[in-house]
Amino acid sequence: MESIKEKIKIVQSKIDASKTDKNVKLVAVSKKKSWQEILEAYENGISDFGENYLQESLEKISKLKDLKINWHFIGNIQSNKCEEIAKNFDWVHTIDRLKIAKLIDKYCPEDKFIKCLIQINIDNEESKSGIKVEEVENFLNELSDLKKIKICGLMIIPNPNVALSDLQQTFKKIKMLADRLIENYENLTEISMGMSRDFELAIKEGSTIVRLGETIFGARN
């Protein structure tokens, strides 16, 4: 069985082979993983970690508080969790409601800013979280008065049952949207798309952030 160190080396070589002229940020999805496993990944060059569940993440963040880790919240956000998310995370990937954005902005400590991504429901699936494509610009305008959060890009969670050939079209759609928006919103430079099964394709289609869990840590319990 490959070690975390070996897995990271393989993943990084695949990222390097897939990327074009842009740097690609690797976020290691560490939900259900111990702080010791996160430490091992950190010692092998990973500095960005993604967590889905607030309560589970707080112990890990506390244990590893002396390390230079960027913590990314990548799960669904409930309004009663916003204060702790604002205080403990550097990035939030799942902004899709004005109420949530305002609460994170409100609770953000004075000495920091939080980088945020707007979650896009790229295929307009009724059961999915995220802003519909046609609503994105209005949503961006609503967020423009917030002072402590920095909207710096878009994020999608594709349907895991979609074939890779169809997924490529989804990736192209989000890249086209991002290219159109950046003409008026110059800070929207990030596209977070690509997970363990499709990250190489996502990078080739313009992703700047990939979120990988099992590819680095192995299967979750």
Q: What is the pTM of this model?
A: 0.95
pLDDT score, position 128: 77
pLDDT score, position 221: 66
Residue 122: band (very low, low, confident or very high) from pLDDT cuts 50, 70, 90: confident
* Distance set, CA 13 to CA 19, 28, 114, 194, 198 (Å): 10, 15, 30, 16, 15
Tokens of 198: 């499709």
Tell me how many domains the chain contains: 1
CATH number for position 20: 3.20.20.10
pLDDT score, position 220: 72
Q: Give mean pLDDT, residues 169-187.
A: 95
DSSP string, 20-35: -SS--EEEEE-TT--H
pLDDT at 69 > cutoff 90: yes
- In tens, the pLDDT along 24-63 reads 999 999 999 999 999 999 999 999 999 999 999 999 999 9
Smallest CA-to-CA distance from 173 within 123, 109, 108 is with 123
Alpha helices in 19-107 (DSSP H): 35-43, 54-63, 82-88, 98-107
Q: Give mean pLDDT, residues 78-94.
A: 98
pLDDT at 123 > cutoff 80: no
Across the strands, what pairs with 70?
Answer: 48
Residue span of the structural domain in which 167 resides: 4-217
